[in-house]
Amino acid sequence: ASRVGAESILGAFLAGMVMKLLGPRQETQDKLTSLGYGFFIPIFFIVTGANLDLKALVADPKSLSLIPLVLIGFFIAKIGLIPVLRRRFKPQNALAGGFLLTTTITLVIPTLTVGRNLDILSDQQSGAFTLAAVIACVAGPILFSTFFQPEPEHFKKTKVTFIGGNLLTVPIAQHLSPDRYEVKLLTDKPENYHTYNSEINIALADYTESTLKAAGAYDCDIMVLGDFDADTNYDLATMALAEKVPRIIARFAPKDATSDRYDRLRAQGVEVFNALEANVALLRSLIETPSTLQILDDTVAGIYEITVRNSRFAGLELKNLPFIDDITVSQIYRNKKFVAPHGDTQIHLGDHLIFSGDKHVIRDIREQVEKLN
């Protein structure tokens, strides 16, 4: 940055981009973030504050007149975000969020530093912008606290769509907890519909894209394709991929060595299974790891997976979880990769925690961690 005459702050920004391209581990990024926000950035702001010449600013009426204009500009610049916030929050809280978003001193001061070094702004003008940013940082949280009204936090149920009503899918749909899952079951076979409609909420629908859309089949977090016909499941999986269903589980018969369609589906993220391979894997596990399978059948302990949706847990280290003494975390599934957990491993929103523990505490833990906040 020095050789080409660029600003040091821009050089640091480019260095950060290069660092990101190198793909550092999340723990490395967390340490860099802690170092930057905990050490370097405070020094930068201290130096900036020390260089602010208040006497010269007060002596310049034109610069003083800039302060209310800039302050108004800060608030006007965030008005356009209020309609976006209203999609998630009620109008009063959306307005409160707009006030909070005006606290932009961390962006303003580095920008002013660049502007002064490039002789775009005078010291007095820069001081006016700085004081306006300081006032916004004080007023923004106060206005936010004045207008904000806490809203109830909701536990988001996982929406599961089963396509194919039969002896495989119906028992599974029946056993999914209604407290955690919102289940939808569809079949195109009238005889299956009449067989199961007295036992479970099932709908009769053709397996066409328009019919499935009208039935809301694609409005789900997980789609399970359990039809006994492999060609039907393949076509349904292709349509679900086009509709960007987050997770697709598809049943197929033992793999046909002459076809690569299973591999193509897997490459696109579809989870492919067949009953024969599942039974083989279960029997092998009974032989190789009998104690692990015993945990699954145990009436007290069990193996569970929860998704971190509550922002209160984001950034916490594993050892600081309030319920860590009641569970044993074996894996963290993050960004489609498994992370080996340690005591100082930070929890991120969207993490899947895989752990073992007492069945009596899992409900409370799940309500805490998966509550939308």
The residue from 253, 282, 311 where one domain ends is 282
Identify whether the C-beta of residue 354 lies closer than 8 Å to the C-beta of residue 305: yes
- Same structural domain for residues 296 and 366? yes
Which residue is associated with the tokens 């004080």? 138
- Same structural domain for residues 163 and 275? yes
pLDDT tens digits along 48-71: 776 777 777 777 788 788 888 888
Two tokens, residue 86 = 């209203």
Q: What is the CATH number of the domain that holds 359?
A: 3.30.70.1450
- Same structural domain for residues 141 and 189? no
- Same structural domain for residues 56 and 14? no
**Coil vs helix vs strand at 348:** coil
pLDDT at 239 over 90: yes
pLDDT tens digits along 258-290: 677 888 888 899 998 887 777 777 778 778 877
Mean pLDDT of 88-108: 86
- Same structural domain for residues 213 and 276? yes
- Same structural domain for residues 174 and 261? yes
- Same structural domain for residues 311 and 231? no
- Same structural domain for residues 9 and 28? yes
> What confidence score (pLDDT) does residue 354 get?
92
> What confidence score (pLDDT) does residue 116 get?
78
The residue from 132, 151, 170 where one domain ends is 151
The residue from 151, 182, 206 where one domain ends is 151
Residue among 320, 307, 297, 303 nearest 368 (CA): 307
Rg of the chain over Cα atoms, rounded to whole angstroms, equals 28
Q: DSSP assignment, residue 345?
A: P
Q: What is the CATH number of the domain that holds 187?
A: 3.40.50.720
- Same structural domain for residues 348 and 274? no
- Same structural domain for residues 33 and 55? no
pLDDT at 36 over 80: no
Secondary structure element (H or E) that encloses residue 290, with its range? helix 290-297
Three-state secondary structure along 63-91?
HHHHHHHHHHHHHHHCHHHHHHHHCCCCH
Instruction: Tell me the pairing of strands 222-225 and 247-251.
Output: parallel
pLDDT at 252 over 60: yes
- Same structural domain for residues 295 and 261? no
Give the strand order in the sheet containing 181-187.
Answer: 202-204, 181-187, 158-163, 222-225, 247-251, 271-273
Two tokens, residue 161 = 């769509």
pLDDT at 295 over 80: no
Domain count, the chain: 4
> Band of the pLDDT at 189, cuts 50, 70, 90?
very high
| CA atoms within 13 A of residue 29's CA, in its CB half-sphere | 14
CA-CA distance, 275 to 280, in Å (whole number)?
9
pLDDT tens digits along 118-164: 788 887 788 888 888 888 888 889 999 999 988 776 677 889 999 99
CA-CA distance, 224 to 169, in Å (whole number)?
8
- Same structural domain for residues 169 and 135? no
Residue among 303, 295, 311 nearest 351 (CA): 311
Give me the domain span that covers residue 24.
Answer: 1-44
